[in-house]
Amino acid sequence: MWQWFFKLSSPKWFYTISGQLMPWLATLTTLLLGVGLVWGLAFTPPDYQMGENYRIAYIHVPSAAIAMGCYYMMACMAAAFLIWRIKMADMIAKACAPVGMTFTALALFTGSVWGIPTWGTWWIWDARLTSTLIMLFLFIGVMALRSAYDSEAAGAKATAVLTLVGVVNVPIITYSVKWWNTLHQGASSLSLSNTAANPPQIWVPAFFVGFGLLGFYLIAIILRTRNEILMRERRTEWVDEILSASKSKGQGLS
């Protein structure tokens, strides 16, 4: 396990392995999203309470879950960087911020669209909505704080501290519907993966879309991390060889 951990901390090893995995991951993600979205949006029966409006949950629910998972991942990488000074951890943490911001914004947008027919309003200062909005601001704040530093090392340390301080907000998002009397539905009534309450034609495509969006998330993290590796390791011999080989073939890097 530790041998694998130390390999993962090597930029060269990460770049090589991720490049080999990308075609397989991209193919699987495309298939999962294609099947799940077509099945869920076009062929599943209407909900007996919300009618056709519930279909937006196929995007909203996994987007929100992935956004929270992304912040946890960013916090873990921040802790690894502060404790062990692993530069790959900081690169991954940096890659997480814009991806997490995008998924959080998508969750808020789809939730607002869903809220208009179900709640009668696109926004309310509900505990879960407010804490999710705070998470969006945290992602933006992490990116802004890093860009404010001229020194890469100082920016990495400052953003790692901010990330770890902000991680306390994520459990609030998760448990807010249990701790307070909120308008937002609880997980039992909202989750499309609740197989006891929903027939297979509803929750099976939800799994397809959920894992498809997870694959898309991983692809985005990997691509941004690979670009960050090339930027930081551009003076090393192995990166120079990759750039030279790419130029000779007339191909772009990804």
Question: How many Å separate Cα 46 from the centre of its chain?
Answer: 29
The answer to whether residue 31 sits within a structural domain is no
Which pLDDT belongs to residue 28?
99
- State pLDDT tens for residues 134-187: 999 999 999 999 999 999 999 999 999 999 999 999 999 998 878 777 766 665
Domain count, the chain: 1
In a domain, 8, yes or no: no
In order of 14, 118, 148, 194, the CA distances from 71 in angstroms are: 21, 28, 21, 24
pTM for the whole thing? 0.92
For 213, the domain range is: 59-242
187 token code pair: 């997980």
User: What are phi and psi for residue 251, nearest 5 degrees?
Assistant: -110, 155
The answer as to whether 146 is a domain residue is yes
The mean pLDDT of 30-39, rounded to a whole number, is 97
Whether 36 is covered by a domain: the verdict is no
Whether residue 202 lies inside any domain: the answer is yes
Whether residue 67 lies inside any domain: the answer is yes
Q: Is residue 35 part of a domain?
A: no
- Provide the mean pLDDT of the chain: 90
Answer yes or no: is 12 within a domain. no
Please report the pLDDT score of residue 194 as a whole number: 55
Q: What is the rounded CA–CA span in Å between residue 162 and residue 171? A: 16
188-210 pLDDT, tens digit each: 444 544 555 667 888 889 999 99
